[in-house]
């Protein structure tokens, strides 16, 4: 069973917290993790790029030069893709669909694998008494000084509103609720910081 380094609100080291094997003891392949991240990012992507075709550009419709006698190749429109200022052929039209699908079982397994990878790399930390926070940022900065540099994903439960208010202005700290986690958010974070209540909620939701 994995364990996590535990701090109180003052940043003082507490006895290590045992992490449930059902969440933090799942081994998966790197390819499954990569697939889950790729599916998530693909589903966030919007088809915002759109180019102008030869029918969209604002150029004269008159024949550019006479058909014969110039020695040049015959052309009728200056909006043709081969000319500077002409339309773009085969460019993005704003209707692309980048969404991807992944079976729920694979998605859940990848998520548990991401949690387990963080635990294996000693990147999971627990805050022992977040419910005692008075909502003051200066009271909790020592915690993240001890944890170290990098992006911190703090998973909170609904009962620690004061603690959530205290950490929301700290740089490189992202707050999430247990039900909103995904493989990408876990993998993108340098450190995973949990409250005891969040571990309980995660166990109810994901450890099936």
pLDDT, tens digit, 9 for 90 and up, residues 168-183: 889 999 999 999 999 9
Task: For residue 126, report the phi and psi dihedrals to the nearest 5 degrees.
Answer: -125, 140
Residue 22: how many other CB atoms lie within 10 Å: 13
pLDDT for the residue numbered 53: 94
Low-confidence ranges of the chain (pLDDT < 70): none
pLDDT averaged over every residue in the chain: 92
Task: For residue 4, report the phi and psi dihedrals to the nearest 5 degrees.
Answer: -125, 140
pLDDT for the residue numbered 54: 92
pLDDT for the residue numbered 86: 93
Same domain, 66 and 116: no
Same domain, 61 and 126: no
What is the domain extent for residue 21?
3-45+99-206
Same domain, 105 and 190: yes
Same domain, 65 and 104: no
Same domain, 164 and 115: yes
Same domain, 62 and 108: no
Same domain, 125 and 156: yes
Same domain, 177 and 194: yes
* CA angle (202 as vertex; 39, 104 as ends), nearest 5: 30
Measure the CA–CA gap between 44 and 27, rounded to whole angstroms. 27
pLDDT for the residue numbered 132: 83
Strands lying side by side in the sheet with 3-7: 13-18, 3-7, 124-127, 191-194, 152-156, 173-177
Same domain, 137 and 159: yes
Considering 33, 68, 97, which residue would you say is the last residue of a domain? 97
pLDDT for the residue numbered 207: 83
CATH number at residue 15: 3.40.1370.10
pLDDT for the residue numbered 6: 94
pLDDT for the residue numbered 131: 84
Same domain, 92 and 190: no
Considering 69, 97, 125, which residue would you say is the last residue of a domain? 97
Percent of the chain with pLDDT over 70: 100
Our count of domains for the chain comes to: 2
Same domain, 127 and 86: no
Same domain, 133 and 34: yes
């Amino acid at each position: 069973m994995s364990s996590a380094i535990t701090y109180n609100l003052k940043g003082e080291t507490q006895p290590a917290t045992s992490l449930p094997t059902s969440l933090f003891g799942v081994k998966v392949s790197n390819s499954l993790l990569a697939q889950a991240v790729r599916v998530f990012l693909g589903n966030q992507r919007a088809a915002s790029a759109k180019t102008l075709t030869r029918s969209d550009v604002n150029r004269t419709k008159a024949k550019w030069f006479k058909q014969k006698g110039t020695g040049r190749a015959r052309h009728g429109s200056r909006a043709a893709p081969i000319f500077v200022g002409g339309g773009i052929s085969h460019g993005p039209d704003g209707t692309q669909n980048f969404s991807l699908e992944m079976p729920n079982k694979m998605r859940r397994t990848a998520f548990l694998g991401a949690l387990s990878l963080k635990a294996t790399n000693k990147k999971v930390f627990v805050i022992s008494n977040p419910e005692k926070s008075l909502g003051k940022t200066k009271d909790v900065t020592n915690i993240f000084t001890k944890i170290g540099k990098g992006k911190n994903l703090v998973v909170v439960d609904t009962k620690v509103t004061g603690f959530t208010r205290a950490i929301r202005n700290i740089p490189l700290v992202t707050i999430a609720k247990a039900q909103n986690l995904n493989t990408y958010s876990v993998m993108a974070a340098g450190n995973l910081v949990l409250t005891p209540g969040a571990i309980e909620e995660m166990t109810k939701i994901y450890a099936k």
